[in-house]
Homo-oligomer: A and B are copies of this chain.
Amino acid sequence: MTEKDDFALQDFLPFLLNRAAEESSLEFQGQYRDRYGMLRTEWRVLFHLGIYGSMTAKDIGVRAKIHKTKISRAVAKLTERRFVVRNRDEKDRRAEHLSLTPAGEAAYRDLQSVAKDYDAKLTSQFSDDEAETLRRLLKKLSGMEV
Contacts and interface: CB of A to CB of B under 8 A. Distances in A.
B19 A24 contact: no
A124 B67 CA distance: 26
Contacts of A119: 11-14
Q: Please tell me the size bucket of the interface on A.
A: 35 or more
B51 A9 contact: yes
Sorted nearest first, the 8 A-B pairs with minimum C-beta distance are A17-B21, A21-B21, A16-B138, A14-B24, A4-B53, A20-B141, A18-B21, A134-B137
Interface of A: 1-5, 7, 9-25, 28, 44, 47, 50-55, 59, 64-66, 112, 115-116, 118-119, 122-123, 125-126, 130, 133-135, 137-142
